[in-house]
Amino acid sequence: MADLSVNFAGIKSPNPFWLASAPPTNMGSMVERAFDAGWGGAVWKTLGEPIVNVCSRLASLDNGANRMIGLNNIELITDRPLDVNLKEIYECKKKYPNHAVIVSLMVESKREAWHEIVKKSQDTGCDGFELNFGCPHGMSERGMGAAMGQVPEYTCMVTEWVKEVSNLPVIVKLTPNVTNIIPPGRAATKGGADALSLINTINSVMGVDIDTMIPYPNVNGMAAHGGYCGTAVKPIALNMVSELARDAEINIPISGIGGINTWRDAVEFLLLGASNVQVCTAVMHYGYRIVEDMIDGLNNYLDDKGCASVNDIIGKSVNRVTDWGNLDLKYKTVARVNPENCIRCNLCYVACEDGAHQCFDFHEIDGKRFPIVDEPECVGCNLCYLVCPAPGAISMIRLDDGSNPTSWRELTNEQPATMTGD
C-alpha cells in the first residue's frame, strides 16, 4: 500500500485528510473521536473574543432527493471560553502526538490582540495556526474574517504580526469573496505565511419561504446572508486552488477546501496543487466515518497508478490548466448517437434545439424514431452528452488529427496581461 503520510509546511500527519475549522471540531471530545475514526488532522473551530450565536443557523440547498448539496450557515466562531478550548487542545495533542492539531484564530485588527492569542495558543503544543481571513458573515461586520482577507494589505499585515511571535507554521485561510484570488494569496506569502488554505465559505442567501416570505434561515422573522459550502462549491474551490498553484510568486503549500465528499474529490484537489485537503460539510452530513472510504479509495487509486506515496500525485494536473487564449482552436469533436443504447427520450434534441446549436434531426431504424447528429453543424459543445441519461448513448468523437495546434494567442500575437498583485 502507498504511503499516505504528509508533511504540510512542516506539519506531519498520517494522511492528507484533515477536518476543517467548523462545528465538527468544536471541542476536544469531537476531535478525538475524529482521530479515532482515521482523520489525519483537525483545524480547531476558530478561537477569538467571546461571541453569542443565534438559533436557526443553517439552511440547505436540495436537488430532488439529494439533500444538502449546498449548505448555508450563519454560525460564528466558537462560543466556548478560550481557556476551556486551550486546555482541550493541549490534552488532545498530548493524547494524539502523531496527528496534526491546528488552531484557527480570529481577533480584532490590533497587533497586541494577535500577539496575545498566538502566545497563549502555542503553549498548548499545537502544530500550527490557521488565520481565519475568510468568514463572510457576522465577524466580517466587526472588521474581522473576510473583511481582512478582501484587503491584501491587511492580509499581509496581520500575517506579519503573527510571525513576529510565532515559532509554529502559519496557514492563512483565504476568502473566495474576491474578484481575483491571486493578490490575497501573494499578500499572505509576502507576509511570511508558511501555507495557504482555501476556500472559506461564499456569501449567500439560501432562499425564501414563499408562504411566509421570510428568507432562510429564519431568526424570529429576519434573516442574514451567510456562508455557502458543500458539494456545490467544489468547482469554485478547484479553480481557486489551481490559480494559486499556477502562480509563480506563490511557492508555499496549499490546503484544499470546498465540496470534498469522497476520495475522488480529494484526488482532484491534490492533482490541481493541494498538498492536503480539509473537509467539513460532508462530515456534518454523514459523520466522521466517511474518512474510512477516503483512505481506502486513495490507497487503491495510488496502487492502481503505481505511486509509492500520495506526494507523487500532488500538482500533476496543474500544467493542464491554462488561460483560454492558449487552447487549441483546431481541436474538433462532434457528438454521435449509438442507437443500441439510446432510450429515445429526446432530451438531446430538446437541449440542442433550445439551448445550443440546433444540430439534431431524426431518422427511423426498424420503425423506431432516433435522434441523429448533423455533424457538419455540430460544434462539439458537449451539452447533449451531458444531459443524456443513458450511458453509452452519446459519445464525443474527435475528428482532427492533432497536428499543428493553434491558439488564439498565437493567431493574434497577443501577450497575456501582467498581474502585479498590488
For the annotated catalytic residues, the residue numbers are 135
What is the Cα–Cα distance from 20 to 414, expressed in whole angstroms? 42
Measured on CA atoms in the order 222, 228, 230, 235, is the torsion positive or negative?
Answer: positive
Total Cβ atoms within 10 A of residue 78? 24
Q: Which amino acid is at 51?
A: I
> Shortest CA distance to 250 belongs to which of 180, 201, 203, 200?
180
| Residue 343, CA atoms < 13 Å, CB-side half-sphere | 8
Contact 119, 133 (CB under 8 A): no
Q: What is the CA radius of gyration of the chain?
A: 24
Task: Label residues 323-354 b or e (16+ Cβ within 10 Å = b).
Answer: eeeeeeeeeebbbbbeeeebeeeebbbebbee
User: Does 199 sit behind a cis peptide bond, omega within 30 degrees of 0 on the bond before it?
Assistant: yes
Q: Strand pairing of 41-48 and 100-106?
A: parallel
The alpha-helical segments, DSSP class H, found in 60-151 are 82-95, 111-122, 146-149
